[in-house]
Structure 1
Protein backbone atom coordinates (compact mmCIF):
# COMPACT_ATOMS: atom_id res chain seq x y z
CA UNK A 1 0.00 0.00 0.00
CA UNK A 2 1.36 3.42 -0.92
CA UNK A 3 1.41 6.33 1.53
CA UNK A 4 -1.35 7.99 -0.49
CA UNK A 5 -3.61 4.96 0.10
CA UNK A 6 -3.22 4.90 3.89
CA UNK A 7 -6.60 5.50 5.55
CA UNK A 8 -6.81 8.48 7.92
CA UNK A 9 -9.42 9.60 10.40
CA UNK A 10 -10.85 12.97 9.35
CA UNK A 11 -11.61 15.18 12.34
CA UNK A 12 -13.42 18.41 13.14
CA UNK A 13 -12.23 21.53 14.97
CA UNK A 14 -12.70 19.66 18.28
CA UNK A 15 -10.61 16.65 17.13
CA UNK A 16 -13.68 14.42 16.87
CA UNK A 17 -13.70 11.85 14.05
CA UNK A 18 -16.16 12.73 11.28
CA UNK A 19 -15.08 10.23 8.60
CA UNK A 20 -12.23 8.38 6.95
CA UNK A 21 -10.42 8.98 3.67
CA UNK A 22 -7.25 7.81 1.95
CA UNK A 23 -4.31 10.06 2.79
CA UNK A 24 -3.85 11.29 -0.80
CA UNK A 25 -7.49 12.34 -1.02
CA UNK A 26 -7.40 13.93 2.45
CA UNK A 27 -4.39 16.02 1.38
CA UNK A 28 -5.88 16.93 -2.01
CA UNK A 29 -9.19 18.03 -0.47
CA UNK A 30 -7.61 19.75 2.53
CA UNK A 31 -9.42 17.54 5.04
CA UNK A 32 -8.43 17.97 8.69
CA UNK A 33 -6.64 14.93 10.11
CA UNK A 34 -4.22 14.06 12.92
CA UNK A 35 -0.42 14.20 13.06
CA UNK A 36 2.31 13.57 15.62
CA UNK A 37 5.55 15.52 16.07
CA UNK A 38 8.29 13.87 18.12
CA UNK A 39 11.40 15.78 19.16
CA UNK A 40 14.15 13.17 19.41
CA UNK A 41 17.34 13.81 21.37
CA UNK A 42 20.43 11.65 21.62
CA UNK A 43 22.19 10.75 24.88
CA UNK A 44 24.08 14.09 24.74
CA UNK A 45 20.80 16.03 24.48
CA UNK A 46 21.29 17.05 20.85
CA UNK A 47 18.25 17.31 18.56
CA UNK A 48 17.68 14.99 15.62
CA UNK A 49 17.37 17.23 12.55
CA UNK A 50 16.82 15.99 9.03
CA UNK A 51 15.97 16.99 5.48
CA UNK A 52 13.00 15.21 3.98
CA UNK A 53 13.32 13.30 0.73
CA UNK A 54 12.08 14.93 -2.50
CA UNK A 55 9.46 12.16 -2.85
CA UNK A 56 7.49 13.09 0.30
CA UNK A 57 3.80 13.92 -0.33
CA UNK A 58 3.99 17.01 1.88
CA UNK A 59 6.90 19.45 2.23
CA UNK A 60 9.42 17.55 0.09
CA UNK A 61 13.13 18.38 0.55
CA UNK A 62 12.57 20.70 3.52
CA UNK A 63 14.33 20.47 6.90
CA UNK A 64 12.57 19.31 10.04
CA UNK A 65 13.47 19.18 13.73
CA UNK A 66 10.85 16.54 14.46
CA UNK A 67 10.19 13.01 13.34
CA UNK A 68 6.58 12.07 12.95
CA UNK A 69 3.72 11.85 10.55
CA UNK A 70 0.05 11.14 10.25
CA UNK A 71 -2.02 9.17 12.71
CA UNK A 72 -3.69 6.23 10.96
CA UNK A 73 -7.41 5.54 11.15
CA UNK A 74 -8.29 4.17 14.59
CA UNK A 75 -4.73 4.70 15.87
CA UNK A 76 -4.08 6.67 19.06
CA UNK A 77 -1.73 9.65 19.10
CA UNK A 78 0.51 7.78 21.58
CA UNK A 79 0.76 4.68 19.39
CA UNK A 80 1.41 6.78 16.29
CA UNK A 81 4.17 8.70 18.09
CA UNK A 82 6.04 5.51 19.00
CA UNK A 83 5.50 3.95 15.55
CA UNK A 84 6.61 7.07 13.67
CA UNK A 85 9.65 7.68 15.90
CA UNK A 86 10.88 4.12 15.51
CA UNK A 87 10.18 4.07 11.75
CA UNK A 88 11.84 7.38 10.94
CA UNK A 89 14.81 6.90 13.25
CA UNK A 90 15.21 3.28 12.13
CA UNK A 91 15.36 1.88 15.66
CA UNK A 92 13.29 -0.45 17.80
CA UNK A 93 12.71 -0.56 21.52
CA UNK A 94 12.45 3.21 22.02
CA UNK A 95 10.85 4.32 25.26
CA UNK A 96 7.30 5.52 24.67
CA UNK A 97 7.50 9.21 23.68
CA UNK A 98 6.25 11.64 26.31
CA UNK A 99 3.18 13.66 25.31
CA UNK A 100 3.65 17.41 25.84
CA UNK A 101 0.70 19.22 24.23
CA UNK A 102 -1.63 19.34 21.23
CA UNK A 103 -2.54 22.22 18.92
CA UNK A 104 -4.53 22.81 15.75
CA UNK A 105 -2.12 23.72 12.95
CA UNK A 106 -3.54 25.92 10.20
CA UNK A 107 -1.43 26.88 7.18
CA UNK A 108 -3.66 29.85 6.35
CA UNK A 109 -4.53 28.32 2.98
CA UNK A 110 -7.37 26.07 4.10
CA UNK A 111 -5.29 23.11 5.31
CA UNK A 112 -5.16 22.20 8.99
CA UNK A 113 -4.40 19.22 11.18
CA UNK A 114 -4.41 18.38 14.85
CA UNK A 115 -0.80 18.15 15.96
CA UNK A 116 0.30 16.25 19.07
CA UNK A 117 3.83 17.12 20.21
CA UNK A 118 6.04 14.60 22.01
CA UNK A 119 9.64 14.16 23.08
CA UNK A 120 11.80 11.04 23.28
CA UNK A 121 15.40 10.16 24.11
CA UNK A 122 17.09 7.87 21.56
CA UNK A 123 20.26 6.41 23.01
CA UNK A 124 20.94 3.84 20.28
CA UNK A 125 22.47 4.50 16.85
CA UNK A 126 19.87 5.64 14.33
CA UNK A 127 19.32 4.26 10.84
CA UNK A 128 16.76 6.66 9.31
CA UNK A 129 14.48 5.44 6.54
CA UNK A 130 16.01 6.34 3.19
CA UNK A 131 12.47 6.84 1.80
CA UNK A 132 11.82 9.53 4.42
CA UNK A 133 15.18 11.11 5.29
CA UNK A 134 17.67 12.48 2.75
CA UNK A 135 20.13 13.89 5.33
CA UNK A 136 20.31 13.93 9.13
CA UNK A 137 22.43 14.84 12.11
CA UNK A 138 22.09 15.38 15.84
CA UNK A 139 22.64 19.09 16.46
CA UNK A 140 22.94 21.13 19.66
CA UNK A 141 19.83 23.26 20.17
CA UNK A 142 21.92 26.43 19.73
CA UNK A 143 22.90 25.20 16.25
CA UNK A 144 19.26 24.55 15.38
CA UNK A 145 18.40 28.08 16.53
CA UNK A 146 21.16 29.49 14.28
CA UNK A 147 19.81 27.51 11.31
CA UNK A 148 16.20 28.68 11.71
CA UNK A 149 16.69 31.63 9.37
CA UNK A 150 19.16 29.94 7.03
CA UNK A 151 17.45 26.65 6.15
CA UNK A 152 14.01 26.11 4.71
CA UNK A 153 11.95 24.29 7.34
CA UNK A 154 8.64 22.45 7.13
CA UNK A 155 6.08 25.06 8.23
CA UNK A 156 4.12 22.77 10.58
CA UNK A 157 7.34 21.62 12.27
CA UNK A 158 8.43 25.22 12.67
CA UNK A 159 5.05 26.06 14.24
CA UNK A 160 5.39 23.08 16.60
CA UNK A 161 8.96 24.12 17.50
CA UNK A 162 7.87 27.69 18.32
CA UNK A 163 5.03 26.37 20.49
CA UNK A 164 7.41 23.94 22.17
CA UNK A 165 9.81 26.78 23.06
CA UNK A 166 6.91 28.73 24.59
CA UNK A 167 5.67 25.59 26.39
CA UNK A 168 9.09 25.02 27.96
CA UNK A 169 9.53 28.71 28.86
CA UNK A 170 6.20 28.65 30.73
CA UNK A 171 7.22 25.68 32.88
Structure 2
Protein backbone atom coordinates (compact mmCIF):
# COMPACT_ATOMS: atom_id res chain seq x y z
CA UNK A 1 0.00 0.00 0.00
CA UNK A 2 1.35 3.44 -0.90
CA UNK A 3 1.28 6.28 1.63
CA UNK A 4 -1.49 7.92 -0.45
CA UNK A 5 -3.70 4.88 0.27
CA UNK A 6 -3.26 5.01 4.06
CA UNK A 7 -6.59 5.63 5.83
CA UNK A 8 -6.78 8.69 8.12
CA UNK A 9 -9.38 10.02 10.50
CA UNK A 10 -10.93 13.27 9.27
CA UNK A 11 -11.57 15.63 12.19
CA UNK A 12 -13.43 18.87 12.84
CA UNK A 13 -12.25 22.15 14.35
CA UNK A 14 -12.55 20.57 17.83
CA UNK A 15 -10.47 17.50 16.89
CA UNK A 16 -13.51 15.19 16.86
CA UNK A 17 -13.53 12.41 14.27
CA UNK A 18 -16.16 13.09 11.60
CA UNK A 19 -15.11 10.53 8.98
CA UNK A 20 -12.30 8.61 7.33
CA UNK A 21 -10.56 8.99 3.98
CA UNK A 22 -7.49 7.92 2.03
CA UNK A 23 -4.46 10.08 2.74
CA UNK A 24 -4.22 11.15 -0.91
CA UNK A 25 -7.86 12.27 -0.83
CA UNK A 26 -7.35 14.06 2.50
CA UNK A 27 -4.52 16.10 0.97
CA UNK A 28 -6.25 16.69 -2.37
CA UNK A 29 -9.50 17.86 -0.75
CA UNK A 30 -7.87 19.79 2.12
CA UNK A 31 -9.57 17.71 4.82
CA UNK A 32 -8.53 18.35 8.42
CA UNK A 33 -6.69 15.40 10.01
CA UNK A 34 -4.16 14.64 12.76
CA UNK A 35 -0.36 14.80 12.80
CA UNK A 36 2.43 14.36 15.32
CA UNK A 37 5.68 16.32 15.61
CA UNK A 38 8.53 14.86 17.67
CA UNK A 39 11.42 17.05 18.83
CA UNK A 40 14.23 14.46 18.95
CA UNK A 41 17.40 15.19 20.91
CA UNK A 42 20.61 13.26 21.30
CA UNK A 43 22.40 12.78 24.67
CA UNK A 44 24.21 16.13 24.18
CA UNK A 45 20.87 17.92 23.78
CA UNK A 46 21.32 18.56 20.06
CA UNK A 47 18.21 18.55 17.86
CA UNK A 48 17.67 16.12 14.98
CA UNK A 49 17.24 18.22 11.82
CA UNK A 50 16.66 16.76 8.38
CA UNK A 51 15.74 17.53 4.80
CA UNK A 52 12.70 15.70 3.49
CA UNK A 53 12.98 13.69 0.29
CA UNK A 54 11.64 15.05 -3.00
CA UNK A 55 9.05 12.23 -3.09
CA UNK A 56 7.15 13.39 0.03
CA UNK A 57 3.47 14.21 -0.60
CA UNK A 58 3.62 17.37 1.53
CA UNK A 59 6.52 19.85 1.69
CA UNK A 60 8.98 17.84 -0.45
CA UNK A 61 12.71 18.69 -0.16
CA UNK A 62 12.21 21.14 2.73
CA UNK A 63 14.04 21.03 6.05
CA UNK A 64 12.38 20.07 9.33
CA UNK A 65 13.40 20.19 12.99
CA UNK A 66 10.78 17.58 13.94
CA UNK A 67 10.23 13.98 12.93
CA UNK A 68 6.69 12.74 12.67
CA UNK A 69 3.79 12.38 10.35
CA UNK A 70 0.12 11.60 10.11
CA UNK A 71 -1.90 9.76 12.74
CA UNK A 72 -3.55 6.69 11.21
CA UNK A 73 -7.28 6.03 11.47
CA UNK A 74 -8.10 4.86 15.00
CA UNK A 75 -4.53 5.48 16.22
CA UNK A 76 -3.80 7.62 19.29
CA UNK A 77 -1.49 10.62 19.12
CA UNK A 78 0.83 8.94 21.67
CA UNK A 79 1.10 5.73 19.63
CA UNK A 80 1.66 7.67 16.40
CA UNK A 81 4.41 9.77 18.01
CA UNK A 82 6.36 6.67 19.06
CA UNK A 83 5.76 4.88 15.74
CA UNK A 84 6.72 7.86 13.61
CA UNK A 85 9.83 8.69 15.67
CA UNK A 86 11.10 5.11 15.48
CA UNK A 87 10.29 4.82 11.75
CA UNK A 88 11.76 8.14 10.69
CA UNK A 89 14.86 7.85 12.88
CA UNK A 90 15.33 4.19 11.98
CA UNK A 91 15.58 3.02 15.58
CA UNK A 92 13.62 0.78 17.92
CA UNK A 93 13.11 0.81 21.66
CA UNK A 94 12.75 4.57 22.07
CA UNK A 95 11.16 5.73 25.30
CA UNK A 96 7.60 6.92 24.81
CA UNK A 97 7.79 10.57 23.65
CA UNK A 98 6.56 13.15 26.15
CA UNK A 99 3.56 15.19 25.00
CA UNK A 100 4.27 18.93 25.21
CA UNK A 101 1.21 20.59 23.61
CA UNK A 102 -1.32 20.35 20.78
CA UNK A 103 -2.41 23.07 18.35
CA UNK A 104 -4.41 23.49 15.16
CA UNK A 105 -2.19 24.23 12.17
CA UNK A 106 -4.03 26.03 9.36
CA UNK A 107 -2.19 27.77 6.54
CA UNK A 108 -5.39 29.37 5.22
CA UNK A 109 -4.86 27.71 1.85
CA UNK A 110 -6.46 24.32 2.47
CA UNK A 111 -3.84 22.70 4.68
CA UNK A 112 -5.15 22.17 8.20
CA UNK A 113 -4.33 19.54 10.80
CA UNK A 114 -4.37 19.04 14.53
CA UNK A 115 -0.73 18.86 15.58
CA UNK A 116 0.45 17.14 18.75
CA UNK A 117 4.02 18.08 19.66
CA UNK A 118 6.27 15.71 21.62
CA UNK A 119 9.85 15.39 22.79
CA UNK A 120 12.05 12.30 22.95
CA UNK A 121 15.69 11.59 23.85
CA UNK A 122 17.56 9.41 21.35
CA UNK A 123 20.49 7.65 23.00
CA UNK A 124 21.72 5.37 20.23
CA UNK A 125 22.74 5.76 16.61
CA UNK A 126 20.05 6.69 14.09
CA UNK A 127 19.53 5.23 10.63
CA UNK A 128 16.82 7.39 9.00
CA UNK A 129 14.57 5.96 6.29
CA UNK A 130 16.04 6.80 2.88
CA UNK A 131 12.53 7.30 1.44
CA UNK A 132 11.74 9.89 4.15
CA UNK A 133 15.06 11.65 4.88
CA UNK A 134 17.48 13.00 2.24
CA UNK A 135 19.96 14.54 4.74
CA UNK A 136 20.18 14.75 8.52
CA UNK A 137 22.30 15.96 11.38
CA UNK A 138 22.07 16.74 15.08
CA UNK A 139 22.41 20.50 15.56
CA UNK A 140 22.89 22.53 18.74
CA UNK A 141 19.88 24.80 19.32
CA UNK A 142 22.10 27.83 18.67
CA UNK A 143 23.10 26.41 15.28
CA UNK A 144 19.48 25.66 14.43
CA UNK A 145 18.52 29.23 15.36
CA UNK A 146 21.35 30.54 13.16
CA UNK A 147 20.16 28.42 10.20
CA UNK A 148 16.64 29.77 10.67
CA UNK A 149 17.90 33.38 10.89
CA UNK A 150 20.10 33.18 7.78
CA UNK A 151 17.20 31.82 5.71
CA UNK A 152 19.29 29.67 3.35
CA UNK A 153 17.43 26.52 4.40
CA UNK A 154 13.70 26.48 3.69
CA UNK A 155 11.88 24.82 6.58
CA UNK A 156 8.42 23.23 6.49
CA UNK A 157 5.77 25.80 7.49
CA UNK A 158 3.96 23.51 9.95
CA UNK A 159 7.26 22.73 11.67
CA UNK A 160 7.98 26.45 11.88
CA UNK A 161 4.57 26.98 13.50
CA UNK A 162 5.29 24.20 16.01
CA UNK A 163 8.80 25.58 16.67
CA UNK A 164 7.42 29.08 17.32
CA UNK A 165 4.95 27.66 19.84
CA UNK A 166 7.66 25.50 21.41
CA UNK A 167 9.82 28.59 21.95
CA UNK A 168 6.76 30.47 23.27
CA UNK A 169 6.11 27.74 25.82
CA UNK A 170 9.63 28.10 27.22
CA UNK A 171 11.27 25.40 25.12
CA UNK A 172 11.27 21.65 25.36
CA UNK A 173 10.86 19.96 28.72
CA UNK A 174 14.50 18.89 28.83
CA UNK A 175 15.65 22.48 28.39
CA UNK A 176 13.59 23.90 31.25
Say whether the fold is shared (TM-score over 0.5): yes
1:11 aligns to 2:11 (yes or no): yes
Query: Where do residues 135-146 of structure 1 align in structure 2 (5 Å cutoff)?
Result: 135-146=135-146
Alignment RMSD (CA, Å): 0.8
Deviation by residue 1:123-169 (Cα, 9 ceiling, x = unmatched): 00000000000000000000000111221000000100010000126
- Secondary structure of 2:82's partner? helix
1:153, 1:28 → 2: CA distance? Answer: 22
What TM-score, normalized to structure 2? 0.95
Q: CA deviation at 1:50?
A: 0.1
Deviation by residue 1:56-82 (Cα, 9 ceiling, x = unmatched): 000000000000000000000000000
- Secondary structure of 2:170's partner? helix
- After TM superposition, which residue ranges in structure 1, 4 or more long, deviate above 3 angstroms? none
Q: CA deviation at 1:108?
A: 1.6
- Secondary structure of 1:168's partner? coil
2:59 aligned partner: 59
Unaligned runs of 5+ residues in structure 2 are none
1:131 aligned partner: 131
Unaligned runs of 5+ residues in structure 1 are none
What TM-score, normalized to structure 1? 0.98
